[in-house]
Amino acid sequence: MYLSDIQTLNDRPAALHQPARLSLRILEDTLVEKRQYGIVSIVNRRNTWIGGTYREGWIDSEIRELGVDFAIMPDSTAPRITPVEQAQWMTRGVITFRLTDNLSGVATYRGEIDGQYVLFEMDGKTSLIKYTLDREQLSRGAHTLVLTVADACGNQAVYEANFQW
């Protein structure tokens, strides 16, 4: 669902030596959270998030190529948090999740066990985050895991699970 007219700049693909500013007008400015608006490039019916900044009914962004279509789309969908092989977490000693987002991309994530921050490590190629259970920081027994993930537009998802270690 595009919220602007589709704009084509140039009839052939061309990379720009320096970024150029692109401003597109929002046809129906209905979102309360203005940072959820962003410009996408459209190639072969696939939308790729470029982002942008809201300015009085316009979205301003920088582009690096010509010859593709551009339009404004909303990103009001929270990222998806998917546990990976949850049944194996305790035997392997590693808690693993796959993080995905429909448009603007995962921007931040924070893991806590029993209210204390724990360091998850991200593998950018697979979109997996992992936390290795640490015997020095975590005692045996019942625990509560909370994972909070936000995308670049501020949409947030929270995953909570109780586990026994």
> In this structure, are 61 and 128 located in the same domain?
no
pLDDT, residue 136, reads: 85
Residue with tokens 């270690």: 165
> In this structure, are 44 and 91 located in the same domain?
no
> In this structure, are 96 and 42 located in the same domain?
no
Cβ-based burial of 142 (10 A; exposed 0-12, middle 13-18, buried ≥19): exposed
Residue 59 pLDDT level (bands cut at 50, 70, 90): very high
- Alpha-carbon torsion 29, 2, 42, 46, what sign? positive
Domain limits at 100? 80-164
- The pLDDT mean for the chain works out to 95
Structure tokens at 1: 């669902």
> In this structure, are 111 and 158 located in the same domain?
yes
β-pairing verdict for 94-100 and 121-123: unpaired
Minimal CA–CA distance to 18: which of 79, 85, 64?
A: 64
> In this structure, are 67 and 84 located in the same domain?
no
Cα separation, 153 vs 53, whole angstroms: 11
> In this structure, are 51 and 86 located in the same domain?
no
Which pTM does this prediction carry? 0.87
Cα separation, 90 vs 82, whole angstroms: 17
